[in-house]
C-alpha cells in the first residue's frame, strides 16, 4: 500500500521544499534526503534541477489547466452572459480543489506564487508557456463578461488579479500570523470567495486615469 516510486517521492519532496523555501534556496541534496533517495537518482529520472522543477509543475498544472478549460466550456455552453465572478472562479477553483485536499492546495498554491514571483528567466518562461492557452481563453472570457472595459484596463486589472491570487496563496501563513489568528485560513472555499469578491470589485471599479491628472507630487517623473 505504501510503495510509492522513487520518482514520485522525489517529486513530492521537491514540491514541498520548493513551496517552503523557494527554488534557489532548495538543493537537490535536501530534496533527495527528504525523499529517502540518493542524490544521483534525481539525475537518473530527471536530467537536471531545471527539468525537475518543470516536472514538479507540470504534474499539477496540466490537470488544473484541463479542469479550468472544462469549467469555462461549461460556462460558455450555458449560452447566456458570464459574470466576472464566474470566470474568476473557473480560474482558481481547480487550484484550490487539488486532489490532496487542503494540504495540497496550500502547498501547490505556495508553489505557484513562488514561481510567479521568482526572478529567474527560465521560471517565468515556463510559467507563461504553461499558461499560454489558458490565458488566451480567460482573457477572451473576461472581455465577454465586461465588453465595455478597454483592453488596456483589462490587462492592468488582470495583472492585479494574478497578484492577489499568487501572493495570497504564498502568504496565507503570514496572514494568519499578522492578524493574530483572527483570519481563518483553513477553509479553501472561504479563501476562494474572499479573493473573488475583492478582485471582482476591482474589475468593476471605474477607470482611474482621470484622477491621475492631479498635481504631480512626484517631481521629475
**What residues make contact with DNA under the rule CB under 7 A?**
5-7, 26-30, 37-41, 43-44, 47-50
Identified binder of a second copy from the candidate list 22, 55, 59, 69, rule CB under 8 A? 22
Contact flag: residue 193 with a second copy (CB under 8 A): yes
Give whole-number Cα distances, 56 to 2, 30, 45, 53, 150, in Å.
21, 15, 12, 5, 37
CB 114 within 8 Å of CB 18: yes
Residue 23 vs 41, nearer CB to a second copy: 23
Which of DNA, a second copy, none interacts with 41 (beta carbon under 5 to 8 A by kind)? DNA
CB of 6 to a second copy, least distance (A): 26
Identified binder of a second copy from the candidate list 36, 63, 81, 101, rule CB under 8 A? 101
CB of 202 to DNA, least distance (A): 38
Residue 39 vs 209, nearer CB to a second copy: 209
Measure the CA angle with vertex 75, ends 106 and 69; round to 5°.
55
Contact flag: residue 149 with a second copy (CB under 8 A): no
CB of 92 to a second copy, least distance (A): 11
Which of DNA, a second copy, none interacts with 160 (beta carbon under 5 to 8 A by kind)? a second copy
Give first-to-last CA distance, the chain, whole Å.
64
Residue 79 vs 99, nearer CB to a second copy: 99
Contact flag: residue 78 with a second copy (CB under 8 A): no
Which of a second copy, DNA, none interacts with 21 (beta carbon under 5 to 8 A by kind)? a second copy
Q: Could you please report the per-residue DSSP string of 144-210?
A: HHSTTS-HHHHHHHHHHHHHHHHHHHHTHHHHHHHTTT-S--S-HHHHHHHHHHHHHHHHHSPP-GG
Residue 146 vs 199, nearer CB to a second copy: 199
Q: What is the DSSP letter of 85?
A: H
- CA-atom Rg of the chain in angstroms: 20
CB 25 within 8 Å of CB 50: no
* 33: its cell numbers: 534526503
Identified binder of a second copy from the candidate list 21, 29, 78, 125, rule CB under 8 A? 21
Q: Where are the alpha helices (DSSP H) in 78-146?
A: 84-96, 101-117, 121-145
Residue 33 neighbours by CB under 8 Å, 6+ apart:
none
Residues of this chain, 152-191, that bind a second copy according to CB under 8 A: 152, 155-157, 159-160, 162-164, 166-168, 170-171, 174-175, 178-179, 182-184, 187-190
Amino acid at each position: 500500500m505504501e510503495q510509492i516510486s522513487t520518482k514520485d517521492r522525489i517529486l513530492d519532496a521537491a514540491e514541498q521544499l520548493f513551496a517552503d523555501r523557494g527554488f534557489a534556496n532548495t538543493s537537490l541534496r535536501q530534496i533527495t534526503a527528504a525523499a529517502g533517495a540518493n542524490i544521483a537518482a534525481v539525475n537518473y529520472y530527471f536530467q537536471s534541477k531545471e527539468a525537475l522543477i518543470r516536472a514538479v509543475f507540470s504534474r499539477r498544472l496540466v490537470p488544473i489547466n484541463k479542469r479550468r478549460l472544462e469549467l469555462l466550456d461549461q460556462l460558455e455552453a450555458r449560452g447566456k452572459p458570464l459574470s466576472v465572478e464566474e470566470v474568476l472562479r473557473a480560474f482558481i477553483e481547480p487550484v484550490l480543489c487539488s486532489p490532496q485536499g487542503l494540504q495540497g492546495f496550500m502547498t501547490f498554491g505556495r508553489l505557484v506564487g513562488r514561481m510567479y514571483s521568482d526572478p529567474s528567466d527560465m521560471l517565468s518562461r515556463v510559467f507563461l508557456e504553461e499558461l499560454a492557452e489558458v490565458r488566451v481563453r480567460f482573457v477572451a472570457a473576461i472581455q465577454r463578461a465586461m465588453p465595455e472595459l478597454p483592453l488596456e484596463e483589462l490587462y492592468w486589472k488582470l495583472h492585479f488579479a494574478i497578484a492577489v491570487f499568487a501572493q495570497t496563496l504564498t502568504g496565507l501563513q503570514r496572514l494568519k500570523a499578522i492578524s493574530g489568528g483572527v483570519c481563518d485560513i483553513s477553509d479553501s472555499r472561504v479563501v476562494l470567495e474572499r479573493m473573488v469578491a475583492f478582485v471582482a470589485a476591482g474589475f468593476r471599479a471605474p477607470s482611474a486615469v482621470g484622477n491621475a491628472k492631479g498635481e504631480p507630487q512626484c517631481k521629475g517623473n
